[in-house]
Homo-oligomer: A and B are copies of this chain.
Amino acid sequence: MKDVFQYVEANRGRFIAELLTLLRQPSISAQNVGVTECAELVLRFMSEAGVDARLIPTAGYPVVFGQVLAPGAARTVLIYGHYDVQPPEPLEEWKTPPFEPSLRNGRIYARGAGDNKGQMFAHLKAVEAVLQTRGRLPVNVKLCFEGEEEISSRNLPGFVGANRELLAADMVYASDGPMHASGPIVFFGCRGLLYLELTARGAKRDLHSGNYGGVAPAPAAHLARALASLWTDRGKVAVGGFYDRVRKPSRADRRALQAIPFAAKSVREDLGCPPATAADAGGYYRRLLIQPNLNIAGLTAGYQGPGSKTIIPHMARAKLDARLVMDQDPDEIEDKIRLHLKRRGFGDIEVKRLGAVPPSRTPMDHPLGRAVVRAVKQAWGRRPILFPNLGGTIPDYLFTQVLGLPSVWVPYAPHDEANHAPNESITIEGFMNGIRSTAAGFFEIAAV
């Protein structure tokens, strides 16, 4: 691998400059800002790297698909990533503007730096590096970069279902989410997601709280009571049957969770406050990885500006996201939440689904997964930590359940990448070692 790694190092400046170009292009799928332009840009980068690339339209934003076939190669690796990003708000909390990348402290700061443009781009630069040094790849590589991951990959199920042959492979290799505070990790699945919007309505307009307080409906208080009913006083989800299908952790799961080095101090510094759970790896990672969670992602009603405004809001809204684990089913959980609200007297609150992704898992001892673990060790010079799955959600079920492939994930972004938040970043070390990991992965996978 020495020649490949040397090429990567020799082209560091250009690789970073190209990534900055990609980060300068907004691609906010939730707000329909720049996504199509970004797809064109990714296509151009793919073609320039020597990949046979094209845009494949979907009902939403296009998939940028590319492949490099290696004559005689036994294995095919399908690489997945996404070029869309989260909304950048709140803008005033960014130290430098989200779409004007800034290099500070060995990091690149920009919306999408970690999630997922920097990681996705590392794969592409690995393809380039191996092609340029060896003239060919040791495996067939297929690149599938979507533009709707941050809006629950709406059209990816349709795309995967309609393109099984195009996507045919031996495994999926992908990079998303953050590393551990102590270094590189490999994970083998993810929690699922159910995203709901709850809306309580009152009068047809905001009312003066003096002229109507006591006689008008109060949707904000109604919504607060509905939300409060979703948890017990101890913070467990109070929705009937919510935990019914949660898998008991296997011995292997528990061993893996215990083996994750838990840096209590680092977690506390990262959060700026103590975590909400037991300060040991077993407890922390059990709650984060193999237990479900129900979260209020947003609340809005009435006046939110400075000072006081005395109104009865005519409407109150909450965004709820549930992280689901094997074998919870998003449809079933949504039904249970709707039933819960109805039973508790909140049947008048509108429930709208904004997204759903089932949880997914690949066995941790799969030979192709172990090949990837070896590749990451080569790139970083140390063994990665193995996670049974990610706390976040990725459309991994499409690979494991729809395509039936083993799926292995290697994050290239730092533990404190601040994805989905202001001042998102990727370390330059993570980006460069990411390129090396993918490149080494091609050879390790070919050797299985």
Task: Give which listed residue, B267, B299, B391, contacts A213 with CB less than 8 A.
Answer: B391
Residues of B close to A210: CB separation below 8 A: 177, 190-191, 193, 323, 390-393
Q: Known contacts A210-B177, A227-B228, A392-B210: does B87 contact A305 (CB below 8 Å)? A: yes
Within 8 A of B (CB), among A239-296: 267, 271-273, 275-277, 284, 287-288, 291-293, 295-296
Residues of B close to A214: CB separation below 8 A: 276-277, 287-288, 291-293, 323, 391
Task: Give which listed residue, B225, B227, B309, contacts A86 with CB less than 8 A.
Answer: B309
Cα of A212 to Cα of B86 in the assembled complex, Å: 17
A221 lies within 8 A of chain B by Cβ: yes
A391 touches B297 (CB 8 A): no
Q: Known contacts A211-B392, A420-B208: does B293 contact A298 (CB below 8 Å)? A: no
A204 lies within 8 A of chain B by Cβ: yes
Residues of B close to A202: CB separation below 8 A: 271, 273
A78 lies within 8 A of chain B by Cβ: no
Cα of A153 to Cα of B177 in the assembled complex, Å: 51
Task: Give which listed residue, B177, B217, B297, contacts A310 with CB less than 8 A.
Answer: B297
Chain B residue at smallest Cβ distance from A322: B213
Chain B residue at smallest Cβ distance from A415: B211
Q: Known contacts A215-B277, A303-B87: does B209 contact A321 (CB below 8 Å)? A: yes
A218 touches B288 (CB 8 A): no
A304 lies within 8 A of chain B by Cβ: yes
Cα of A193 to Cα of B213 in the assembled complex, Å: 11
Q: Which of the four size classes fits the interface of chain A?
A: 35 or more
A215 touches B275 (CB 8 A): yes
A209 touches B345 (CB 8 A): no
Cα of A289 to Cα of B198 in the assembled complex, Å: 32
Within 8 A of B (CB), among A297-319: 297-313, 316-319
Cα of A214 to Cα of B283 in the assembled complex, Å: 10
Residues of B close to A267: CB separation below 8 A: 215
Q: Known contacts A297-B312, A300-B304: does B228 contact A275 (CB below 8 Å)? A: no
Over the window 318-339 of chain A, the binary record of Cβ atoms lying under 8 Å from chain B Cβ atoms (1 yes, 0 no) is 1101010000000000000000
A178 lies within 8 A of chain B by Cβ: yes
Residues of B close to A99: CB separation below 8 A: none
Residues of B close to A134: CB separation below 8 A: none
Q: Closest approach, in angstroms, between the C-beta of A418 and any C-beta of chain B?
A: 7
Q: Closest approach, in angstroms, between the C-beta of A405 and any C-beta of chain B?
A: 22
Within 8 A of B (CB), among A82-103: 86-87, 89, 93
Copies in the complex: 2
A224 touches B228 (CB 8 A): yes
Q: Closest approach, in angstroms, between the C-beta of A340 and any C-beta of chain B?
A: 15
Cα of A308 to Cα of B326 in the assembled complex, Å: 23
Residues of B close to A304: CB separation below 8 A: 298-300, 317, 319
Cα of A209 to Cα of B317 in the assembled complex, Å: 18
Chain B residue at smallest Cβ distance from A355: B308
B420 touches A306 (CB 8 A): no
Chain B residue at smallest Cβ distance from A196: B308
Q: Known contacts A231-B225, A233-B345, A310-B193: does B273 contact A217 (CB below 8 Å)? A: yes
A152 lies within 8 A of chain B by Cβ: yes
A288 touches B212 (CB 8 A): yes
Cα of A100 to Cα of B227 in the assembled complex, Å: 40
Cα of A305 to Cα of B298 in the assembled complex, Å: 9
Q: Known contacts A211-B392, A323-B210: does B306 contact A31 (CB below 8 Å)? A: yes
Chain B residue at smallest Cβ distance from A394: B210
Q: Closest approach, in angstroms, between the C-beta of A219 and any C-beta of chain B?
A: 9
Task: Give which listed residue, B211, B225, B235, B293, contacts A209 with CB less than 8 A.
Answer: B293
Ranked nearest first, the 3 interchain pairs of A and B with the lowest CB-CB distance are A210-B392, A204-B272, A228-B228
Known: A214-B292, A298-B311, A303-B319; 9 extra A-B contacts, CB below 8 A, are A151-B308, A191-B210, A205-B421, A210-B391, A211-B392, A225-B227, A225-B231, A295-B312, A298-B303
17 example contacts (A-B, Cβ-Cβ < 8 A) are as follows A150-B309, A151-B307, A151-B308, A195-B310, A205-B421, A205-B422, A210-B390, A210-B391, A216-B271, A216-B275, A224-B227, A296-B301, A297-B303, A297-B313, A298-B302, A300-B301, A304-B317
